[in-house]
Amino acid sequence: MDLIDSLCRSASEQKASDVFLLCDQIPQLRINGQLVQLQTGPVTKEDLETFWLHCGAPPEALDFDGSYVTTNGERFRVNLFRSLARHGAVLRPIKTAIPALDSLGLPQELLKAWIVRPAGLLLVTGPTGSGKSTTLAACLDWLNHNVRRHIVTIEDPIEYFFQPSGCLFTQREVATDTATFAEGLRRSLRQSPDVILLGEIRDSTSAITALQAAETGHLVLATLHSSNVLDSLERLSRLFEATERASVLQVLAQQLVGILCQKLVPAKPEGRTLIVEHFENQAVTRKWIMEGKFRELADFVAKGDNPANVTFLASLVAAVRAGRIAEATALEVASNPHELSRQLRGVSANSVTATR
């Protein structure tokens, strides 16, 4: 295990977000979103077999999720897998220091207004490694120092440990403290929670249980792997069969507080910066959610006449003008580079239409 510890130390020193190991290949790190090969020899079959056993994976396992703690106490989330019958692993550092809510580049006042609500569903979405868990941890830490709540977290694995200040925390890890996300969420309703953090909505069972928890007077914070507000709503609805979708959307329309979508992009002069899209569910949007008219809702958000509703496009424009990211970077990550280019030059789609 000395090799694994050494690789983990390198990852921490270089602030890597991931460590990639594959039998007979040189280890690589992901630093600021880019893959970097380490100046070391390849990982051997024996190294990885020993690591698999240390993580508790059965010898015959094809895939396995677990965790690893180095000799100096650093924690890593681990995914073990096979590639062409060879052992492999991806390790992700679990940060222990919870950043302040106002240090992440988030719409903090909007989030504060959302997380003090007595009930409802708040979704934080984005791709893997976009900082969703960090955002939620910062939200819970703000609650911990400003209100008195019983907060139940259900995660796989637990990423941040909270020291109670104003809040009481019950933290449960899937496979250690509860069988599944859905089961942990269902059981948590008997534990008199005020706020429930659900690490991830993975299936229809966890989604409907989260909505039921919100409906019965709890604030539920959860993550979802989706790219923007439109994709989040569509992906959530697709978790359900067509026959039950209408009834689920009716509950979602009433219980959804808002959606925060985020992605990390290369910053100037180095590092990465957060770009967000967010949407607050209000009277006019409830009808569109209930009817499954998500594109009408997305068009409403894109109008930009409500500070609670901001698109990725608007965030990219603001980031370029503030000097946080390069224009070339913004054009590369934008879903509509042509429209971004026009807006950076002060020409919006609406103004072009009006002159025709």
pTM: 0.86
pLDDT the model gives residue 96 = 78
Asked if residues 125 and 261 have their Cβ atoms less than 8 Å apart, the reply is yes
Nearest residue to 259 via CA among 239, 276, 237: 276
pLDDT the model gives residue 355 = 34
Per DSSP, the three-state class of 293 is coil
d(CA 244, CA 248): 6
Q: Is the pLDDT of residue 115 over 80?
A: yes
Rounded average pLDDT over 144-153: 97
Q: Is the pLDDT of residue 270 over 90?
A: no
Look up tokens 């991931």; give the residue.
18
Cβ within 8 Å of residue 214, ≥6 positions away? 119, 120, 121, 220, 255
d(CA 262, CA 268): 18
pLDDT the model gives residue 94 = 86
Which CATH number is correct for 101-310, 3.40.30.10, 3.30.390.30, 3.40.50.1370, 3.40.50.300? Answer: 3.40.50.300
End-to-end CA distance of the chain: 68
Q: Write out pLDDT tens, residues 79-102.
A: 999 999 999 999 999 877 899 999
What tokens does 224 get? 């979802």
Asked if residues 2 and 55 have their Cβ atoms less than 8 Å apart, the reply is no
Answer yes or no: CATH 3.30.450.90 is held by domain 2-94.
yes
d(CA 172, CA 66): 15
Q: What angle do CA 274, 280, 283 make, to 5 degrees?
A: 170
Residue spans in the chain of domains classed CATH 3.30.450.90: 2-94
Peptide bond into 269 cis (omega under 30): yes
What tokens does 287 get? 């009808």
Cβ within 8 Å of residue 15, ≥6 positions away? 31
Cβ within 8 Å of residue 183, ≥6 positions away? none
Residue spans in the chain of domains classed CATH 3.40.50.300: 101-310
What tokens does 193 get? 């929670």
Q: Write out pLDDT tens, residues 186-240.
A: 999 999 999 999 989 989 999 999 999 999 999 999 999 999 999 999 999 999 9
